[in-house]
């Protein structure tokens, strides 16, 4: 079963399967300094602030590149050279933020939980109490490494209580899981065009509390990654400082329109939750074991244990399921050998059921009988 453009369905954390109308939105050329494109930029920026209930005291700064570019840019822009970032880690994306600090020469400390355990808010509270030199905290909303949902409201309340600045990496949750500036106080949220908004890859963005961004002039070591300067440019003439990904923005604009038509965060999150439920139920019925219990699982991507059966070879499994029209995703956990299946992108339970059928056929052909985890 293939998509309407005869491509395999992407059961990955992004880039994702996009709608035909989003792909078609790219069949034009725009002048980057022309009024139509300036208007499109403003529309997209405003919509992204709206999605967080941000209002006039928040502002969106888009940046060329993948999600990591905007994570790096946000850290560089927010942290003064003598700042210190506490990173809450339970997967690869938290680890990556520490690596970014090392590159940037910013001090960092970490608070780590295993990949299948949410960030520990009591430990965060104690550490912020103890270490007055920590100026900023970074948290990952949904850690895509496992698909775990971190307690972002509790983290935000704790950081606020201690008067520190919070950066939320909501890359794989933005647009599908609720996040409201009124109830979850943050200084910045970062995400990208190609995850739950279902655009194509090429744009990251940060939504800042304006009063926090106003204090960031001169922090960044990098001109192209300076989100303060990018903001000043946009506020000045509505234009991007350097060549914008025009087609990507047009697709993102269309994707935001379709997100709204689907019922916004509630509608999008509802469809993903139904996908996730169908996926987990179907995989469990076959005998596969998910890594996370339901209460920890975000409806974004699901991690499954590698089956115990020696006849199960992931490379072969991946190739065969791919030939049937579904691209799965390898695991990158350290706690256990796993693989992942995404439930986001322009697809519904019909595609999930077809994927389950394909998986069932493949394990049968491979002669795999024991689908439970290695013990």
Ligand X SMILES: *Cc1c(COP(=O)(O)O)cnc(C)c1O
From 63-71, 125-133, 229-237, 354-362, give the range in contact with ligand X by CB under 6 A: 63-71
Give dist(CA 314, CA 312) in Å, integer: 6
Assess contact for 140 and 169: CB atoms under 8 A: yes
Residues 85-124 that bind ligand X (CB under 6 A): 93
Of 68, 108, 135, 219, which lies in the binding site for ligand X, with binding defined by CB under 6 A? 68
From 65-73, 227-235, 283-291, 331-339, give the range in contact with ligand X by CB under 6 A: 65-73
Contact characters 1-40, ligand X, x per CB under 6 A:
------------xx--------------------------
Query: H/E element holding 232?
Result: helix 227-237
Which residues are CB-neighbours of 141 under 8 A, at least 6 positions away?
149, 150, 152, 168, 169, 170, 171, 172, 173, 174, 177, 179
Choice between 205 and 312, CB closer to ligand X = 205
Residue 342 found at the interface with ligand X (CB under 6 A): no
Choice between 171 and 276, CB closer to ligand X = 171
# chain residues binding ligand X, by CB under 6 A: 13
Choice between 95 and 239, CB closer to ligand X = 95
Of 146, 172, 275, 303, which lies in the binding site for ligand X, with binding defined by CB under 6 A? 172
Residue 62 found at the interface with ligand X (CB under 6 A): no
CA 87 to chain centre: 17
Give dist(CA 199, CA 155) in Å, integer: 29
Residue 144 found at the interface with ligand X (CB under 6 A): yes
Alpha carbon separation from 11 to 148, 302, 330, 342 (Å, rounded): 17, 10, 11, 4
> Which two structure tokens, joined as six digits, stand for 211?
């009063």
> Which two structure tokens, joined as six digits, stand for 338?
């796993």
Of 140, 149, 197, 356, which lies in the binding site for ligand X, with binding defined by CB under 6 A? 140
Residue 202 found at the interface with ligand X (CB under 6 A): no
Choice between 133 and 334, CB closer to ligand X = 334
CB of 89 to ligand X, least distance (A): 12
**Beta strands 107-112 and 84-89, pairing class:** parallel
CB of 353 to ligand X, least distance (A): 26
CA dihedral 245, 250, 255, 260 (to 10 degrees): 130
> Which two structure tokens, joined as six digits, stand for 246?
């025009």
Alpha carbon separation from 134 to 72, 267, 361 (Å, rounded): 18, 38, 53
List contacts with ligand X (CB under 6 A). 13-14, 66-68, 71, 93, 140, 144, 169, 171-172, 192
């Amino acid at each position: 079963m293939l998509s309407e453009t005869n491509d395999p369905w992407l059961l990955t954390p992004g880039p994702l399967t996009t709608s035909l109308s989003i792909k078609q939105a790219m069949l034009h050329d725009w002048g980057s300094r022309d009024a139509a494109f300036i208007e499109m930029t403003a529309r997209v920026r405003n919509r992204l602030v709206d999605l967080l209930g941000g209002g006039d005291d928040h502002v969106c700064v888009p940046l060329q590149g993948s999600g990591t570019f905007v994570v790096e840019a946000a850290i560089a822009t927010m942290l003064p050279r003598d700042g210190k970032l506490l990173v809450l880690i339970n997967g690869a994306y938290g680890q990556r933020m520490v690596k970014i600090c090392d590159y940037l020469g910013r001090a960092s400390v970490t608070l780590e939980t295993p990949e299948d355990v949410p960030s520990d808010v009591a430990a965060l509270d104690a550490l912020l109490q103890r270490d007055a030199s920590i100026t900023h905290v970074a948290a990952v909303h949904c850690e895509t490494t496992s698909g775990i949902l971190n307690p972002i409201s509790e983290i935000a309340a704790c950081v606020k209580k201690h008067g520190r600045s919070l950066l939320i990496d909501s890359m794989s949750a933005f647009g599908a899981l609720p996040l409201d500036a009124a109830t979850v106080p943050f200084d910045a949220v970062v995400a990208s065009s190609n995850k739950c908004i279902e655009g194509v890859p090429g744009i990251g963005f940060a939504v800042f509390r304006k009063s926090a961004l106003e204090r960031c002039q001169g922090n960044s070591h990098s001109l192209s990654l300076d989100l303060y300067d990018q903001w000043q440019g946009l506020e000045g003439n509505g234009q991007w400082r350097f060549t914008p990904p025009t087609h990507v923005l047009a697709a993102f604009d269309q994707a935001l329109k379709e997100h709204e038509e689907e019922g916004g965060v509630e509608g999008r999150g509802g469809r993903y939750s139904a996908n996730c439920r169908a996926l987990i139920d179907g995989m469990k019925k076959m005998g596969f074991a998910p890594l996370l219990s339901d209460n920890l699982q975000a409806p974004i991507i699901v991690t499954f244990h590698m089956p115990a059966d020696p006849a199960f070879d992931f490379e072969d499994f991946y190739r065969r399921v791919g030939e049937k029209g579904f691209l799965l995703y390898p695991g990158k956990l350290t706690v256990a050998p796993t693989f992942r299946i995404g439930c986001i992108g322009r697809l519904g339970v019909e595609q999930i059921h077809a994927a389950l059928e394909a998986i069932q056929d493949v394990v049968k052909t491979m002669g795999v009988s024991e689908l439970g985890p290695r013990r």
